[in-house]
């Protein structure tokens, strides 16, 4: 079995803002909704941008914990949202394996689920997304990054030869 190399996809604040605005643009024709539910923590910033762009004021959170630094682990629900999701727009930054999305969909089956980024394994769980990335891509969100030296790609290739 061949293991595909891990790819890194760093996202700047500017790119995240552009992509969240693009998501809002796509969603503007699909509403109206009465509320936005942000999946914490990754969905908080995109939900704020979408809420502004769609002029929505009612924003709630569905709080889950499913990741440690690099791996998805057992999912823990910390806070739910009542109802079945009718007139609800769910926002998250990313659908990866679809584990979190599946759980939220079970709790809010009538909601519209939207993410900025989607990986193939989780892609069927969302209704709207902006960018699809490969399953072996690790997206580095701006809230998880600090400025530091980055080795040139060619330097990485030289160490692998």
At 8, is the secondary structure helix, strand, or coil?
Answer: strand
Contact at 8 Å (CB) between 88 and 61?
Answer: no
- Catalytic residue, chosen from 60, 68, 96, 144, is 96
Task: Choose, from 19, 71, 87, 93, the residue flagged as catalytic.
Answer: 93
Beta bridge partners of 64: 77
- Which residue is catalytic, options 92, 127, 144, 157? 92
**36/48 Cα distance (integer angstroms):** 9
Nearest 5°: the CA angle 101, 38, 34 is 105
Distance CA 71, CA 147 (A): 23
Known catalytic residue: 93? Answer: yes
Active site residue 92: yes
15 alpha-carbon distance from chain centroid: 14
Active-site residue numbers?
Answer: 92-93, 96
């Amino acid at each position: 079995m061949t293991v595909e190399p891990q790819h890194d996809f760093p996202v700047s604040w500017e790119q995240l803002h552009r992509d969240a605005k693009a998501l809002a643009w796509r969603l503007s024709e699909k509403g109206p909704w009465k509320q936005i539910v942000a999946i914490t923590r990754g969905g908080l910033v995109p939900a704020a941008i979408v809420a502004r762009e769609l002029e929505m004021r009612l924003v709630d959170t569905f709080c889950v914990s499913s990741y440690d630094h690099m791996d998805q682990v057992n999912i823990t629900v910390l806070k739910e949202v009542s109802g079945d999701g009718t007139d609800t727009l769910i926002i998250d930054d990313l659908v990866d394996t679809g584990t979190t999305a599946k759980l939220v969909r079970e709790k809010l089956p009538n909601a519209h689920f939207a993410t900025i980024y989607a990986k193939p394994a989780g892609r069927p769980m969302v209704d709207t997304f902006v960018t699809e990335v490969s399953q072996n891509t690790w997206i580095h969100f701006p809230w998880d990054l600090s400025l530091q030296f980055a080795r040139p790609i060619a330097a990485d290739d030289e160490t692998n030869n």
